[in-house]
């Protein structure tokens, strides 16, 4: 299924203000009891450790960035994940999951709400696909903050809903990286199927729906790369190996609306949001086409 830019953005705008369906939460997978972890996975951005070294430390694999390094962060040599890395992991008996995070703090991806997803979701899909990521798997969307409820309602919820629309249009699923409150609020809104929890603002709690838990200040050095260690609480943590499921070749993505058309699709509550430029939108779509072997 190929989602047009117009359909995606219209759905995103409606999602920003639509009421929550009473049955949405009931359709989510049942919560699992958090017992002993089933294993550990690592995440990193400063480089790429050797797959055999990761295997020797006993980890199941890694959660990897399907996002580019942000400007000025030249030390992020491990972004984005590449197919040679995922193949090396697979050959070592390891698996990876995908996460998208480009900006942080004052440049956080979610700050533009649904409009921001018009830039970020296509890039996540493109880089996941280029690294060998199959359909049917989640991409964790990062909320690397301790937001207020007002920030969640006004910006994060619309951002996640718009991202979900784009991911499902590409045959993928929504995962969420966030603290206890973000995960709890998202579940109440029927958002997310996989949850990677961080400790910032979580007050020492672990959400009962946690799939992966990133414990603060739990790190080690593998192959000269500093990595974070995460406990895994579900046998399905969103993992994949390149090519383990078919990725259908889509048709050409339809024409992209210009920024004036985008503005008219946004609800009044987002009227003061700075929209992505036409060039940013075009560049994001071109990334998708290039990753899938389509002309731009």
> How confident is the model over 12-64, as pLDDT tens digits?
444 444 433 333 333 333 334 568 899 999 999 999 999 999 999 999 999 99
H or E, element range at 164: helix 157-169
How many angstroms from the chain centroid is the CA of residue 261?
26
Using 50, 70 and 90 to split pLDDT, how confident is the model at 295?
very low
User: What would the pLDDT profile of 133-155 be if each residue is shown by its tens digit?
Assistant: 999 999 999 999 999 999 999 99
Instruction: Output phi, psi for 20, to 5 deg.
Output: -80, 130
Q: Average pLDDT, whole number, for the chain?
A: 80
CA distance linking residue 276 with residue 9, whole number of Å: 12
Q: Do 225 and 44 form a contact (C-beta atoms < 8 A)?
A: yes
Domains in the chain (CATH in brackets) are 5-291 (3.20.20.80)
Assign 263 to helix, strand or coil: helix
- For 59, the token pair is 């980890």
Percent of the chain beyond pLDDT 90?
54
Instruction: Output phi, psi for 25, to 5 deg.
Output: -70, -35
User: What would the pLDDT profile of 84-122 be if each residue is shown by its tens digit?
Assistant: 999 999 999 999 999 999 988 888 999 988 888 888 888
- For 82, the token pair is 């590449």
User: What would the pLDDT profile of 235-261 be if each residue is shown by its tens digit?
Assistant: 999 999 997 544 444 443 334 445 555
CA distance linking residue 241 with residue 174, whole number of Å: 18
Assign 26 to helix, strand or coil: helix
**What are the Cα distances from residue 129, in Å, to 123, 160, 224?**
10, 20, 28
- Burial code (b: 16+ CB inside 10 Å, e: under 16) for 4-27 equals ebeebbebbbbbbeeeeeeeeeee
């Amino acid at each position: 299924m190929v989602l047009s830019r117009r359909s995606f953005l219209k759905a995103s705008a409606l999602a920003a203000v639509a009421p929550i369906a009473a049955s949405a939460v009931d359709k989510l997978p049942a919560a699992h009891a958090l017992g002993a972890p089933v294993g550990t996975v690592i995440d990193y951005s400063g480089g790429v450790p050797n797959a055999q070294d990761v295997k020797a430390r006993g980890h199941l694999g890694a959660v990897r960035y399907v996002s580019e390094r942000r400007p000025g962060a030249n030390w992020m040599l491990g972004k984005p994940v590449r197919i040679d890395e995922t193949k090396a992991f697979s050959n070592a008996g390891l698996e990876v999951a995908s996460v998208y995070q480009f900006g942080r703090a004052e440049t956080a991806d979610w700050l533009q709400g649904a409009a921001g997803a018009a830039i970020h979701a296509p890039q996540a899909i493109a880089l996941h696909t280029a690294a060998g990521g199959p359909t049917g798997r989640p991409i964790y969307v990062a909320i690397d903050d301790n937001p207020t409820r007002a920030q969640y309602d006004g910006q994060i919820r619309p951002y996640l809903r718009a991202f979900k629309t784009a991911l499902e249009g590409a045959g993928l699923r929504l995962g969420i990286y966030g603290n206890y409150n973000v995960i709890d609020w998202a579940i109440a809104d029927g958002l997310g199927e996989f949850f990677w929890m961080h400790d910032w603002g979580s007050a020492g709690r672990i959400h009962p729906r946690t799939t992966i838990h990133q414990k603060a200040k739990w790190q080690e050095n593998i192959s000269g790369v500093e990595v974070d260690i995460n406990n895994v609480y579900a046998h399905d943590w969103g993992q994949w190996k390149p090519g383990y499921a078919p990725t259908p070749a889509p048709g050409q993505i339809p024409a992209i609306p210009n920024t004036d058309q985008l503005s008219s699709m946004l609800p009044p509550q987002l009227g003061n949001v700075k929209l992505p430029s036409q060039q940013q939108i075009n560049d994001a779509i071109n990334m998708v086409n290039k990753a899938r072997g389509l002309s731009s």
